[in-house]
Amino acid sequence: MRIYSWNVNGIRAAVRKGFVDWLEGCDGDIVALQEVRALREQVPDELLDADGWHHEYQPAERKGYSGVGLITRSPAESIATTLGSDEHDAEGRLQIARFGKLTIANGYFPNGNGKNRDNSRIPFKLDFYARLFDRLQPLVDAGEPVLVMGDLNTAHEEIDLARPKENVNTSGFRPEERQELTRWIDSGWVDTFRHFEADGGHYSWWSQRGGARARNVGWRIDYILASPAAMPYVRAASIHPEVLGSDHCPISVDIDPGLLR
């Protein structure tokens, strides 16, 4: 069973760039999307009419901004979309969905940059991390399998971006952001890709300026984290830089379907 996560940088634009063809050929069972930037009624019919998929979208109140979505072979048994913070909830950044025993949290974590790229949104970003951690902790404590996936907007270690020294003061690689992700890992969450791949040079986002993607000058800011009860069922974790259509590429995990039962 394969689960994907992908920041599509606008679902309407992604569909124009071949997203439906990718979806129909990806061999996925669950596809978690971030930065959908569309209301449900704005999602192209070409996508909604694709055979055999169920769709759930959580848009931001502000049109054309943020938003997450789940495209799945089987419908979720339940979906929650709130963190209990009006400020965060208004931005449409979260879906917590249940599939059998498995809980999936699909998140578009905030960027710490303010309007002037001044790092002024880092406290808002860290509050999102902390609220989601606390929201999921009772499930983890109960030994339930949970996967957290999405654009976490943080490169955890120097190996996770091409130019760490030049970005020590850039949101996404600030010490306080990295420390928060470390807190998750130290609490038992597993960075699934890093579990299987120790080498550098693997990124999931590239600037659209200066041919960064062609030169592979990127950042690994998209993750799938597994709770201690979920990790034994994870068989592989991958990044798919060959898939175009966004400034991010998809990431995935392959899991034993027994995780759902």
Note the pLDDT of residue 54. Answer: 98
Chain-centre distance of CA 58, in angstroms? 14
Give all domains of the chain, ordered by start, each with its CATH number. Answer: 2-260 (3.60.10.10)
User: Which residues are catalytically annotated?
Assistant: 151
Dihedral of CA 30/31/33/36: which sign? Answer: negative
Note the pLDDT of residue 261. Answer: 83
Burial class (CB in 10 A: 0-12, 13-18, 19+), 112: buried
**Of 261, 260, 179, nearest in space to 3 by CA:** 260
Separation CA 171–CA 261 (nearest Å): 39
Compute mean pLDDT per 10 residues along the chain, 261 residues long, and list them: 98 98 97 97 97 97 96 97 96 98 98 87 98 98 98 98 97 98 98 98 96 98 98 98 98 94 83
CB atoms within 10 A of CB 61: 11
Span 142-195, pLDDT tens digits:
999 999 999 999 999 999 999 999 999 999 999 999 999 999 999 999 999 999
